[in-house]
Structure 1
Amino acid sequence: MAEPAVLSMVWRDALFAHWPVEPSLVAERLPDRLSVDTHDGEAYLGVVPFVMEDISPRGVPFGLSFGEINLRTYVRGPDGTPGIYFFNLDADDRLGVFVAWSLFELPYYRAEITVERGDREVRFRSRRVGDAEPAAFDATYSPVGERFEAEPGSLPHFLTERYRFYTEGRDRLYYGDIDHEPWALSEARAEIRENDLFRVNGFAEPDGDPLLHYAPRLDVTAGRVHRV
């Protein structure tokens, strides 16, 4: 990251659940100046639950931690830089949601989230609270097989190695950059019992089973947001 980091954090127990969709279904939901990024002609919608730990402003040992889940897709910005576009981010921390809205213009919603860890297994439950449209998620997931680092050009690399996010706030497009080592991924299995994130974001439930990956831990830093 070229500029100084604003926040440091640790991401734990991440599940990447991805469904291929027609690019046109995503394109019509994106802000102007963003275009759909595709892999072998397909766009992807991803549901990603994980735990954010030790979230601290630069130089301040604050140590905020909470569960989060998001629905995202993959885009390119006006200059062609690849990134992530978030349709929602639900998080179990009132202060964290306020800070994210204030500093990063991200579409955060307050949720009650519980994370139970067993023998190589994670149960993640989220239920949105407050005035927003109700949304729930309930899944149990675990890694399968050996860890690997995704090869450039591969589908896992396309879906996970993203170092910029885009967001729209106050009728303007913003971007922010993050920095971290490459993901240490495993293939995964998951039982998804409840998932309202497609519905509340105006998408039909995608057909077929998702492509699943798991990552145990990643140290991350994030810079401030910039107007595109």
Structure 2
Amino acid sequence: MRPFLTAEWRYLVMLNYEVDPEVLRPLVPRDTELDTWQGRTFASMVGFRFLDTRVRGLPVPFHRNFDEVNLRFYVRHLGPEGWRRGVVFVKEIVPRQAIATVARVLYNEPYVALPMRHVVEMEGAHTGAPGRVEYAWKAGGKWQHLAATTLGPPQASEPGSAAEFITEHYWGYTAQRDGGCAEYRVEHPRWSVWQVDTTALEIDVEGMYGARFVPFLRGKPSSAFVADGSAVAVYPGTRTGSGASQSPASEKPRAA
């Protein structure tokens, strides 16, 4: 099957917070269940660069390179070959109104468009020099951001590690207006990750994500790292389970 979207996702800041599963359970799409690491449930604040975006192989005018920040959590779905490990997005922030509007109106995706900016200072980081990555967005008249400084060179994630759990999810799941669920396959090589020295998350948690996330996102992350990223391919969406005979949610790109 031909990918619907190709791009590069680069310099992914991932701040991971242990969350009460009952906070996430109402957001779990049909035909999926919460995925856990060592019996613990996580949500992640993720910021990254979306580069050289192409739809059906064609560049998207004025929408090739941009930032994205999202809050996501982790689920799994039982496919024909076994468990498919995926992500669900609570909210996705992009700087382009066209992207947000199409995703929200046509595909029931939780996108918003806000002014955004970034700082990527990673020269030499691949050989161990300190690096810094920051993604910021403006909401309610104030700039909010997440950031991390790196420590040492990037390394392959250890089998069974938190970094492997967070980065090695290759499906996206989205609840549909009729109660069904759409799934999307995301293909990319295994990512290496930098350990981090410091992290920052300065946001209006309640205003952006609701009061239920305040006790968790205002604390210290359980783990944090910066992933190097790679080229990615996103495949057309299909319906899961009892909704599989209906029309797919359509061919919409998913974020990391």
Whose helix proportion is higher, 1 or 2? 2
Matches within 5 A, 1:50-89: 50-62=48-60, 64-79=64-79, 80-89=83-92
Residue 150 of structure 2 corresponds to 143
**TM-score in terms of structure 2 length:** 0.78
Query: Offset at 1:37?
Result: 0.7
* Contact 1:116 1:122 (8 Å CA) reproduced: yes
**TM-score in terms of structure 1 length:** 0.86
Residue 232 of structure 2 corresponds to 220
- Name the count of aligned residue pairs: 222
Query: Offset at 1:85?
Result: 0.7
Matches within 5 A, 1:142-161: 142-161=149-168
Residue 215 of structure 2 corresponds to 205
Distance 1:101 1:213, change over 3 A: same
Aligned-residue RMSD, C-alpha: 2.4
Map Cα deviations across residues 107-159 of structure 1 (whole Å, 9 max, x no partner).
11111111123362223211248xxxx89631332221221112332221111
Q: In 2, Cα distance between the equivalents of 1:106 and 1:30?
A: 14
Matches within 5 A, 1:96-107: 96-101=99-104, 105-107=108-110
Query: Offset at 1:26?
Result: 1.8
Q: Which runs of 5+ in 1 are unaligned?
A: none
Residue 109 of structure 1 corresponds to 112
Q: Which runs of 5+ in 2 are unaligned?
A: 123-130, 241-256
Q: In 1, Cα distance between the equivalents of 2:38 and 2:230?
A: 28
Residue 126 of structure 1, aligned match among 108, 132, 137: 137
Distance 1:27 1:57, change over 3 A: same
Map Cα deviations across residues 36-57 of structure 1 (whole Å, 9 max, x no partner).
1111111001000111011101
Larger C-alpha radius of gyration, 1 or 2?
2
Map Cα deviations across residues 74-111 of structure 1 (whole Å, 9 max, x no partner).
01125442110111101011222234446754211111
Query: Offset at 1:15?
Result: 0.3
